[in-house]
């Protein structure tokens, strides 16, 4: 053996906690709350092996923590599957089918949620669709379509919901660390997710007089059906250096959202949180 040689230790992989696995009990952190999760269903990549997605995990966790939950999704069947998971656990939830690119659909969704829940004091905007890599492959029409979903949709939801919100409510935007780094190579997706930061800060400003808070979560690499679909097109996704040695679970994203919805963050607004094991900061 050569002098001064080193044996590098095995990489430590941060093991999942009970919260990471969705196995922790509810603690009443949203008791009495009425929350709309927009994008509470999930896509199917491989029905036999798909892990839980972000929106479904958020919906189930909010219900476990004591909230009544309205689960909205473009796909009614997927929203209903989320609702069934909640009601099977003894929670209270109902499904709404809505297209966030339709202003009429968004207004109906908010009205239905407000009526069925008996009020509204929380909303999560888990909205997003991917685009092609680069610029040349994306037509102006496709660019506009993706912005309609990823940016205009959350704007329409916020505009419709704010007048219905109780004082002291909370809105959480779901972006992506693609807004912070050009790692996805999808200029249309990355830039649309970056635009959510500016929208969120303006919603926080508009809501401040009524104590309505708005914050934003940047998920990193997450093992979800969406993440697996993205990885199928880019085999290198998730193969590089991830500080904790593994991708996140959807439950780990959901717990960050829970913090922003709960009274634990009652003095926090217009802020962002990257849930990425430090990937965007190191």
Q: Between these two residues, 237 and 265, which has the higher pLDDT value?
A: 265
Q: Is the pLDDT of residue 236 over 60?
A: no
Whether 255 is a known active-site residue: answer no
Instruction: Tell me how many domains the chain contains.
Output: 1
Q: To the nearest whole number, what is the mean pLDDT of the chain?
A: 92
Q: Point out the catalytic residue in the list 147, 193, 218, 255.
A: 193
> What is the pLDDT, as a whole number, of residue 143?
93
Residue 153's CATH number: 3.40.50.720
In a domain, 6, yes or no: no
Does the annotation mark 193 as catalytic?
yes
Catalytic residue among 132, 147, 164, 189: 189
Taking the C-alpha atoms of residue 29 and residue 101, their distance in angstroms, rounded to an integer, is: 32
Q: Please check the confidence at residue 7 and state whether its pLDDT lies above 70.
A: no
Amino acid 235: pLDDT:
56
**Digit-coded pLDDT (tens) for 172-203:** 999 999 999 887 788 999 999 999 999 999 99
Q: Tell whether the model's pLDDT for residue 261 goes beyond 90.
A: yes
Render the chain in DSSP notation, one character per residue: --TT---PPPPPP----TTTTT-SPP-STTTT-EEEEET-S---S-TTTPPPPHHHHHHHHHHHTT-EEEEEESSHHHHHHHHHHHHHTT--EEEEE--TT-HHHHHHHHHHHHHHHTS--EEEE-------SSSTTS-HHHHHHHHIIIIIHHHHHHHHHGGGPPTT-EEEEE--GGGTSGGG--HHHHHHHHHHHHHHHHHHHHHGGGT-EEEEEEE-SB-SHHHHHHHHH-TTTTTS--TTSSPBPHHHHHHHHHHHHSGGGTT--S-EEEESTTTTT-
Q: On the CB side of 32, how many CA atoms lie within 13 Å of its CA?
A: 3
Q: What's the average model confidence in pLDDT over 252-256? A: 98
Within-domain flag for 72: yes
pLDDT of residue 234: 56
Does residue 97 carry a pLDDT above 70?
yes
Asked, for residue 13, whether it belongs to a domain, the answer is no
Average pLDDT for residues 205-215, to the nearest whole number? Answer: 98
pLDDT recorded at residue 165: 98
Residue 2 located in a structural domain: no
Residue 210 falls within a domain, yes or no? yes
Query: For position 154, what pLDDT does the model report?
Result: 98
Residue 140 covered by a domain = yes
Indicate if the pLDDT at residue 233 is higher than 70.
no
pLDDT at 77: 97
């Amino acid at each position: 053996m050569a002098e001064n040689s080193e044996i590098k230790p095995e990489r430590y992989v941060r093991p999942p906690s009970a919260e990471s696995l969705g196995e922790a009990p509810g603690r009443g952190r949203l008791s009495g709350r009425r929350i709309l999760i927009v994008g509470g269903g999930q896509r199917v990549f491989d029905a036999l092996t798909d892990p839980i997605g972000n929106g479904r995990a958020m919906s189930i966790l909010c219900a476990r923590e004591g909230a009544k939950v309205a689960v909205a999704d473009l796909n009614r069947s997927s929203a209903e599957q989320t609702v069934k998971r909640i009601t099977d656990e003894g929670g209270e939830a109902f499904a709404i089918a809505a297209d966030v690119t339709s202003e009429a659909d968004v207004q109906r969704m908010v009205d239905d949620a407000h009526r069925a829940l008996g009020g509204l004091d929380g909303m999560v905007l888990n909205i997003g669709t991917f685009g092609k890599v680069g610029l040349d492959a994306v037509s102006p029409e496709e660019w506009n379509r993706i912005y309609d979903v990823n940016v205009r949709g959350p704007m329409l939801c916020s505009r419709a919901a704010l007048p219905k919100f109780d004082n002291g409510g909370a809105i959480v935007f779901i972006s992506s660390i693609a807004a912070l780094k050009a790692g996805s190579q999808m200029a249309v997706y990355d830039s649309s997710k970056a635009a959510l930061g500016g929208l969120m800060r303006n919603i926080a400003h508009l809501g401040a007089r009524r104590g309505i808070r708005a914050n934003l979560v940047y998920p990193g690499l997450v093992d979800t059906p969406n993440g697996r679909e993205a990885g199928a097109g880019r085999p290198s996704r998730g193969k590089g250096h991830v500080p904790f040695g593994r991708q996140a679970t959807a439950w780990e994203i959901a717990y960050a959202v829970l913090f922003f919805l709960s009274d634990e963050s009652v003095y926090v607004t217009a802020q962002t949180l990257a849930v990425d094991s430090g990937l965007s900061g190191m």
